[in-house]
Chains A and B, each alone.
Chain A
Amino acid sequence: DAKTTQPPSMDCAEGRAANLPCNHSTISGNEYVYWYRQIHSQGPQYIIHGLKNNETNEMASLIITEDRKSSTLILPHATLRDTAVYYCIVIRGTSYGKLTFGQGTILTVHP
């Protein structure tokens, strides 16, 4: 599975959009980009995933560049409850599904 690189921390004001970047320059054609988050020591929570098209759900939007070497998770209106560690994970679609977590990005949403 491709390696990912994320900034260690980011800040965002409540109500503003939070844009979390992820580099995955070695991604291959059958690998998906997944985003999870972990609030305190709770279980990782699935947010969104994509292959090559941009995706949107009730939680977030995922923008994947045309060359697929990077992506951005967008939380459109961040709240204090979005303060968490955000993980970008790349995984092959045909594997048994082991997730390899990095250090992620600590997002702090300020009032």
Chain B
Amino acid sequence: EPEVTQTPSHQVTQMGQEVILRCVPISNHLYFYWYRQILGQKVEFLVSFYNNEISEKSEIFDDQFSVERPDGSNFTLKIRSTKLEDSAMYFCASRLTGDQETQYFGPGTRLLVL
């Protein structure tokens, strides 16, 4: 069964460093998402991406964040200058299309900012 994959599974970085989280969505899907979950809190929407552009973003997704689909298979989330409060699980999701909104999530990347 096709699935969303994410790399790395864990990343530790120093405050102020740039990180890139990678995702490979399900191959024929057209809509892509990033969510995050701070430890003990709810899963929060960050951004959605369709047709090579951001379709919606949350207040969390400020200028420090960017997304890119550099080729036909990868979808990345970049945090330019990490802060302590960026420590969280980051989940990528993808959706095929149409009026059925089933999103499939990857296993997540645990980011720890020191």
Q: Which residues of A contact B (CB under 8 A)?
A: 32, 34, 38, 41-46, 49, 87, 91, 93-103
B103 contacts A by Cβ under 8 Å: yes
With A34-B101, A43-B91, A44-B91 already in contact, the answer to whether A100 and B45 are too (CB < 8 A) is yes
Closest chain A residue to B91 by CB distance? A43
Given A98-B45, A101-B44: A43 in contact with B100 (beta carbons within 8 A): no
Residues of chain B whose beta carbon lies under 8 Å from any beta carbon of chain A: 4, 31, 33, 35, 37, 42-45, 48, 50, 55-56, 89, 91, 93, 95, 99-108, 110
Complex Cα spacing A34 to B99, Å: 13
Main SS of the interface on chain B? strand
A-B contact list, 17 entries, CB within 8 Å: A32-B100, A32-B101, A41-B89, A43-B107, A44-B93, A44-B105, A46-B103, A46-B104, A96-B48, A96-B50, A98-B33, A98-B45, A99-B33, A99-B43, A99-B101, A101-B43, A103-B42
Distance in angstroms from B45 CB to nearest chain A CB is 5
Q: Which residues of B contact A49 (CB under 8 A)?
A: 100-102
Q: Is the CB of B102 within 8 A of A42?
A: no
Chain A residues closer than 8 Å to B42, beta-carbon distance = 101-103
